[in-house]
Amino acid sequence: MWYRLAKVLLLGAALGGLCLPVQSNTTVSPAGARSALPSSVVSSVSPVSPVSSFSPAPLRIAQTDLSIPPPAFEFPSTTPPARIALLLPLRSGPLLQAAEAVRAGFLAAWEREREGVTVDVIETGDAPQDILATYAEAAAQHDIVVGPLSRSGVTALAQGNAISRPTIALTQPELPTEGELKLPQQLLVIGLSIEDEARQAANWAATDKKVGKAFVIATATAWQRRAAHAFAAQWQQKGKEAEIIELTASSGYLEAKGLSELKGRLQSDQPAVLFVALDARQARQVRAAAGRELPLYGTSQLNPLALSDWETAERTGDLDGARFFDMPWQLQSDHPAVMSYAHAEAGAEQKRSADLERLYALGIDAWRVAQAVAAKNNSFELDGVTGKLTVRFGQGAPSFVRVQQQAVYRQGGVAPVANRR
């Protein structure tokens, strides 16, 4: 009996020891511990509903020293996509084809890299007031505006203090006669510029020909006059002499009388360089009058065909040796960026327009610039399909430089050459 009594007492002592209260590793009382939670956190917790089954949770060691702050909770990233408005004159008869080409290039590039960005195409006419009103609506609902495409539209935005969002203009503004137009800090102009091509041609010609006078040939066509004056000004900045000679054109061809007079001037003055602010057809006429000995420079308008159409083009060789600038999209099928983006569709028997191809390429590079701006890049370079781009935008005065590809006529076709600085 004594043995059984001792056994019961020992068992009771063991069970009683397991039930002793445990002292928490903290100096805060239970009431104090409860008040450590902010009331906003407590009130946001919803009552737990019954569950039909229970799975034991993994064993966790609780933090009991409340003097150590708990780790900060990081919410998942929920950054909304950047909203881009593509503002194009799709309700304008004269600019419709150009607008459609830019839209096609922009959307083709966006479809390839659309993550984190939404794009809305917004139609405008070509009247400045229409563009201003549509821009205001687009800017209120988007983070970035790409457009306008018309010179008058960009000028109206620049002069009217209307820029309220980062805006990427697709053409050059009309410059006042007395000097340069000061652009707002949120306006970046990336349009194709025949004047820039002419200035680059002057730099190239100055490298090839150290001394001598330049004859600059143009007609009364607006873009030709702009190119001629840009070349002459750049040439004169280098301490060289330039003379602009304006010829008369009829139905796109230079008149014979003017060509005959030009031939006489070339023989008497013997200039060192000839710059033709002309298209390819007119440049052939000048080359026939001037001969092949005189170095001849021009712009992208000396290249009248899309890159793919040169494969089947008739080659005459009458412009061989002529030097000009154009974009990789028009010259280099093996360029990394050119190979990366889809080309505009065309019918099997349809020839592509070289100018519309250039606008399609502008759409691609406009997307790439907008994408970089949306990513908050203030300073960047792109090896684009329209040229090598250097962009400063978002801090101080905006800056955009496009260096196009040098090219030359060889055996009746066009070929890129290594750029010379």
- What is the band of 212 on the pLDDT scale with cuts at 50, 70, 90? confident
Q: How far apart are CA 284 and CA 61, in angstroms?
A: 87
- The angle, 0 to 180 degrees and rounded to 10, between the axes of the packed helices 96-112 and 354-374 is 50
What pLDDT, in 10s, does the model give residues 306-329?
A: 999 998 888 889 999 999 999 999
What pLDDT, in 10s, does the model give residues 238-275?
A: 999 999 999 999 999 999 999 999 999 999 999 999 99
The yes-or-no verdict on residue 348 having pLDDT over 70 is: no
- What is the band of 30 on the pLDDT scale with cuts at 50, 70, 90? very low
The yes-or-no verdict on residue 27 having pLDDT over 50 is: no
Going by C-alpha positions, the residue among 213, 276, 214, 215 that lies closest to residue 249 is 276
Q: What is the pLDDT averaged over residues 410-417?
A: 96
Tokens of 176: 């006042």
Q: Is 146 helix (H, G, I), strand (E, B) or coil?
A: strand
- The angle, 0 to 180 degrees and rounded to 10, between the axes of the packed helices 280-290 and 256-269 is 50
The total number of residues written for the chain in this structure: 421
Q: Can you tell me which residue has the tokens 């009247």?
A: 127
Q: What is the pLDDT of residue 371?
A: 97
Mean pLDDT of the chain: 85
Angstrom distances, CA of residue 234 to CA of 197, 228, 396: 11, 10, 26
What one-character-per-residue DSSP string does 320-365 give?
A: TT-EEEE-HHHH-TT-HHHHHSPPPP--TTPPPBHHHHHHHHHHHH
- The angle, 0 to 180 degrees and rounded to 10, between the axes of the packed helices 222-237 and 194-208 is 40
Q: What is the pLDDT of residue 54?
A: 37
What one-character-per-residue DSSP string does 72-141 give?
A: PP-PPP-PPPEEEEEEE-TT-TTTHHHHHHHHHHHHHHHHHS-TTEEEEEEE--SSHHHHHHHHHHHHHH
Residue 281, C-beta contacts closer than 8 angstroms, at least 6 positions apart: 252, 253, 304
The yes-or-no verdict on residue 48 having pLDDT over 80 is: no
Among 38-47, 71-80, 191-200, the range of highest mean pLDDT: 191-200
CB 361 within 8 A of CB 385: yes
Point out the least confidently predicted range of 133-142, 347-356, 359-368.
347-356
Q: What is the pLDDT of residue 350?
A: 64
The yes-or-no verdict on residue 403 having pLDDT over 90 is: yes
- Residue type for position 10: L
Based on its alpha-carbon atoms, the radius of gyration of the chain, rounded to whole angstroms, reads 35
Going by C-alpha positions, the residue among 167, 160, 103, 115 that lies closest to residue 139 is 167
What pLDDT, in 10s, does the model give residues 115-135?
A: 999 999 999 998 999 999 999
What pLDDT, in 10s, does the model give residues 87-109?
A: 999 999 999 999 999 999 999 99
- 199 or 51, which is more confident: 199
Question: Which residue ranges form the domains of the chain, and what is each CATH number?
Answer: 82-175+182-193+338-378 (3.40.50.2300), 195-333+404-416 (3.40.50.2300)
- 253 or 176, which is more confident: 253
User: Which helix H or strand E contains 205, and what residues bound it?
Assistant: helix 194-208
Q: What is the pLDDT of residue 69?
A: 55
The yes-or-no verdict on residue 409 having pLDDT over 70 is: yes
Q: What is the pLDDT of residue 209?
A: 67
The yes-or-no verdict on residue 234 having pLDDT over 80 is: yes
DSSP label of 160: T
Percentage of the chain modeled with pLDDT above 90: 70
How many Å separate Cα 162 from the centre of its chain? 21
pTM for the whole structure: 0.80
CB 150 within 8 A of CB 171: yes
- What is the band of 210 on the pLDDT scale with cuts at 50, 70, 90? low
- 49 or 99, which is more confident: 99
